[in-house]
Amino acid sequence: FDNVEGKTSGGTELDTDSRPFKMFKKAFEIAMYIIDNTGFVPIEVKSVLGNHSQMVEFSVFWALSIIYRDVRHIKFDVDERSRKVFVYGKNLVGLAHGNNIGKAEQDLWLQNEFRQEWANCDYAEVHTGHLHQEILFSEKGGITKRTNPTLKIIDKYEHDHAWSSKKVV
């Protein structure tokens, strides 16, 4: 969620097992733990905003970018853009939450917005997370699309909508 009332950026009220300030601290601690335990090699942290907690996510990653600003091998890509990419060898990987991409644009945004990167790579994948479940879409237009599952147990809202998760209580 994105505020002390336990609502998302769009105003949807969520069922939570904790207090907002405690959850904010825990999110910050988890992100720092991941960076500290992978940051011994060059890494780039990319923040891609979704539809649940835009201000919280931005705040956490902006603060982390300040904390680690003097660590030369840790780079941050923190801004409000909802679509980003990275290149790994000859692989172009697109990152998007997936909540604000229209059906017609799902197969076009990567090559339209990131033409140079697209031209220099042999393979392309798009990773999203909006649907809260793992889905491997077939390749279309030279792009493999993956939807990654949520990393938490399902909550009441997800349960009520019969959305599943691989995470077990």
- For the segment 75-116, what is each residue's pLDDT rounded down to a tens digit? 999 988 889 999 999 999 999 987 787 777 777 888 899 999
Residue type, 84: K
Least confident of 106-110, 134-138, 156-160: 134-138
- 132 vs 11, more confident: 11
* Mean pLDDT computed over 25-37: 92
Tokens read off for 169: 């209580």
Distance between CA atoms of residues 50 and 65, nearest Å: 19
Q: What is the DSSP letter of 140?
A: B
Does the pLDDT of residue 56 top 80, yes or no? yes
The per-residue pLDDT of the chain, averaged, comes to 83
Q: Read off the pLDDT band of 169 (50, 70, 90).
A: very low
Residue 1's closest CA among 43, 128, 16? 16
pLDDT of 32 above 90 = yes
